[in-house]
Structure 1
C-alpha cells in the first residue's frame, strides 16, 4: 500500500511540485492550502507523514504542529516543516513545536524525498522494536505506546515520535553516557544531517513529557559529557 503524505502549503506551485515528486517516488500525496483543509483531510484519512509549511493563512505551521502533538489522532504522525526561515532560532522553534525534521526553501525534490524516507525509516524501525521496561516506564513496542506506573496503575504517556525514539534508545541502553553526536547517530541516523543542538531540544521535550509522572529526573545531564538514562539520582 502506498504511503499517504499530506502537503500543507498555501502556495499552489509548491503543492503541485511536491505532489509531482511524491507521485514519481510512489507516494500518495494529499494537498491542503490551510489549517481547515488539513484538518478535513486528516479526518478523512490519517496520513503517514505531514509536510507542513511554516507560514499559513489564518494560523502558523508552528501553532498547527503544537495542536497536532496534543491530539491523540495526530500526535504520532511524523511532521517535516517546510519553510524559508533558515536561522538556527527558527529551526529550534520548529523542533520545540513538535516537528521531526526541517527543510529550508528553496529545496530540491531529491533532498525532500531523502528526508521523507529517513523519517519514515526511523518510524518503521520503532514499530518493529519489542517491549522494554525500566523503572516505572514501560514501552509497548507493538502498540507504539508508553506507560508510566503511578500508584500501581499503568498510565498512558502522551509522547511525540522523536521523543519516543529517544526514550526507546535510552531505555535499551540505560546507565550509559552518550554524547550529543552519539545520540544523533543512534536516534536520528548517521546519514541524516541534524545539528547537535537538536538533541538538547528533544531532551527538554522528553523531560517535559515525563514530568507530569515525576519521571523526568531519569533523563540526566552529565556535565561536559552528554546525557544518561538512569533510575538512580
Structure 2
C-alpha cells in the first residue's frame, strides 16, 4: 500500500527587511504548518508573487526600495492578487497609517513590537475567514433569454471561478474587496445596502473596518466603471443610507464601450 501524498502547505509571502523579525516569523509560521517565503525587498516580493501567488502576504510598510502601501498597489496589478489576503506590518502605529492600509483593502494591520504567536493566530484567522467569505459571495446568474429572440449581452458578466467581472464587455481590474463588493451589488440591482451591511457581507472582519472603508472602495469602483462608460452612473448613493446598483443601466447592445 502506497503512502498518502503529503498535504500541501499554504505559502506565506513575507516582505520584511529586518532579518531578525523575518527569521522569527519564518520559524513560527513553519512550526504552524505554513511555508514561509522571505523577501528582503519589494522587488523580490513582486518577483516571488508573480511567479506563484501565495495564500497570504505579510508586507512591512518600511521596506528599503518601496513603501509598503505602494507595494500593495503594485501587487494588485499582478494576476491572482485579488484572491490573496494581505496584512501590513509596521513600526508605525498612527491611526492614519492603519486607516490608509485598511482602506487600500488590507485584511489586517499589526504594529511592531508584536507577539509572533499572535500574528500567526491572525494569519490563521484571516485565511479561515477568507475561505468562508469567498465561498459565500454569490455569483449572479443571467436569466435565460426567450428562445424567439437572441440574448442581449449583459451589462455585467461575473466569472466566479476566476474572480473577474466584465462591464460592457471590458474586464475590470479589481482588488479582492472591490470584486466582492461589486459582485454583491450586481446580484440584486436596485437593492439598497447600508454601509454596515456591506461591511458585514463583504469584509472578512468588519469589526476592524470603518464606514469610510466602504466609501473609499465605492469611490475606486466608480472610477473604474467610469473609465469604461463615462456617461453611465452604475452605482447610486442614497445619502445617509448606503449604496445600490442602478436598475436601469443602458443595455450593452445600445452603446459601445468608451
Shorter-chain TM-score: which interval?
Answer: 0.7 to 0.9
> Which is worse superposed, 126-135 or 83-92?
126-135
* Alignment partner, residue 225 of structure 1: 241
The alpha carbon displacement at 1:129 in A equals 5.2
Name the structure where strand makes up a greater proportion of residues.
Answer: 1
The alpha carbon displacement at 1:71 in A equals 2.9
Given that 1:5 and 1:29 are in contact with CA atoms closer than 8 Å, whether structure 2 keeps it comes out as yes
Given that 2:126 and 2:204 are in contact with CA atoms closer than 8 Å, whether structure 1 keeps it comes out as no
* Alignment partner, residue 162 of structure 2: 143
CA distance in 2, matches of 1:25, 1:136: 45
* Alignment partner, residue 101 of structure 1: 108
> Which is worse superposed, 121-130 or 54-63?
121-130
- TM-score w.r.t. the length of structure 1 is 0.83
Given that 2:43 and 2:65 are in contact with CA atoms closer than 8 Å, whether structure 1 keeps it comes out as no
* Alignment partner, residue 86 of structure 1: 93
Given that 2:16 and 2:59 are in contact with CA atoms closer than 8 Å, whether structure 1 keeps it comes out as yes
Q: Please list the CA deviations of residues 27-84 of structure 1 after superposition, one character each: whole Å capped at 9, or x if unmatched.
A: 1110011122223323443212211010011211122112222233645433211123
> Which is worse superposed, 95-104 or 49-58?
95-104
Given that 1:95 and 1:202 are in contact with CA atoms closer than 8 Å, whether structure 2 keeps it comes out as no
| RMSD (Å) for aligned C-alpha atoms | 2.7
Given that 2:237 and 2:244 are in contact with CA atoms closer than 8 Å, whether structure 1 keeps it comes out as yes
Larger relative contact order, structure 1 or 2 (CA cutoff 8 Å, min sep 6): 2
Given that 2:199 and 2:206 are in contact with CA atoms closer than 8 Å, whether structure 1 keeps it comes out as no
Given that 1:3 and 1:27 are in contact with CA atoms closer than 8 Å, whether structure 2 keeps it comes out as yes
Q: Structure 2: give runs of 5+ residues left out of the alignment.
A: 1-7, 143-153, 250-258
CA distance in 1, matches of 2:220, 2:63: 25
Q: Structure 1: give runs of 5+ residues left out of the alignment.
A: none
- TM-score w.r.t. the length of structure 2 is 0.76
2:13 pairs with 6, 10, 19, which one?
A: 6
